[in-house]
Amino acid sequence: MMRLLRGALVLIALMALAGAAAWIADQPGRVEVTWFGYEIAAPAPLLALGLLLLALAAFILTWALAWAAALPQRRRLKRQQKGYTNFAAGMVAVAAGEADRALALADKARKQLDDPALSRLLVAHAAQLKGDAALAHEAYLALSQDPGTAFLGTRGLLADARRGNDRVTALEQAQRASRLRPSSPFAAEAELQLLVEAGDWDAARKRLELARKKKAVTREAAAALSARLDLAEAQAALLRNDHRMAKQWAERAAKVLPDHPVPPVLMARAADHHNAREAASFHLKRAFARAPSEALAEAWLMLQRETPADKLMAKAEEFVAERRPEVASQLLFAAAALQIRDFAAARSALNKAGPSGGAWAARLLAKLAEDSDGDATAADHWHSIAGQHALWQCGHCGTGAADLSLLCPACGSFDTLDPTRLGEALPLAAPPRTLLLERKA
């Protein structure tokens, strides 16, 4: 339809031109021109027609020259189009897991595109997919040296360093990313994470304040991270035996992070007088009611070391009032009874807890075997059941830790240790009654 319309328009234009030429030819008159002693005389229609043909020839010549001049540009645009097509196909190949095809398409795109950044990006993705770390690093390094893609390349180098567990290089790249994009949430988060993993709390606080001013982190996120840094300060103060500052840091963190399990544990360790112990007990009780664990129970029992034996069990009843019928309550009763060497009460509580006490129950059974009868065989049996399931567990790498640390001893992640929850680490199918419970019941 469009072709017919264009043909009709061309035909109409030609007919109009023919009509105009016929009209000009019918007009009377002559034109005489004297130029440099020459006289030129011609009918006016013929001269007008000559001028029209001359103008048409000039137009055709100009168009031909412009077309010839634009030919390289058209070829370049066509090549660019093919390059973008190959780049898009390469990204699809990366998404499909076809690393070799993606690299081949990246090579074609590199030859066709004037901007090498796109082909380098495709090479980096394909090399990572293929597992060629050296090629990916080379591509990201080239991107990082181009002002237009420096942030993108720096981000890739940062990720490479993180995968290689090279925290020094990763921190350097994160700091460069922060300089390139001061308001980037990614750069702020990466640098903060690396600073806290390095234990440089002062630098982390300064970077956090800068990120807050640049609005790279929200106010709520900044407050939460500041509170987590308070926990690190509290633990550092404990290592210096500065219990007063440790208590202040932990209490400050608890106000911002009321559901965090670490502040009450640190408050308990820093408690050096009656009021501090009472405050720590309150926070531990609330945390234990929310998510009972052996670590929280141990922290509370540590606060009760000076409690008379005839009052400890009553305090334990009060501590677990909100979870009285549960397995966790019985295990805490057993731990409290073992602390005052009431083995009958400990054995009774463990029997009531049943087979769901996990590693916590196994450790209590081992302690009961050791302290009540000196039964090393039974104790070894229960210790073997508890295995490597420690009081704390890293939420990042899953490694257990015997004691609280704001930096995971295994992977170095910051504030990822949580108390191992009851029954999560080691559900006991059934306690072997031949060793302890049945014999001593």
283-337 per-position pLDDT tens digit:
999 999 998 999 999 999 999 988 999 899 999 999 998 877 788 999 999 999 9
Residue 436 banded pLDDT, cuts 50, 70, 90: very low
Cα separation, 233 vs 213, in Å, equals 23
Range of lowest pLDDT (8-22, 185-199, 251-265): 8-22
Helix (H) or strand (E) holding 36: none
Average pLDDT of the chain?
82
To the nearest 10°, the Cα dihedral for 184, 186, 189, 191?
-80
Angle (CA) 275 278 284, round 5°: 145
Check residue 379 and give its pLDDT. 86
Please say if the pLDDT value at position 439 is more than 90. Answer: no
- Tokens representing 190 are 């990466």
Cα separation, 163 vs 186, in Å, equals 17
Which residues have a Cβ under 8 Å from the Cβ of 281 and sit 6 or more positions away? Answer: 268, 300, 303, 319
Cα separation, 155 vs 176, in Å, equals 9
Model-level pTM? Answer: 0.68
- Tokens representing 174 are 């994160």
| Spans of all domains in the chain | 291-441
Residue 250 banded pLDDT, cuts 50, 70, 90: very high
Whether 364 contacts 357, CB under 8 Å = yes
DSSP of 21-49, one letter per residue? Answer: HHHHHT---EEEEEETTEEEEEEHHHHHH
Decide: helix, strand or coil at residue 398.
Answer: coil
Please say if the pLDDT value at position 255 is more than 90. Answer: yes
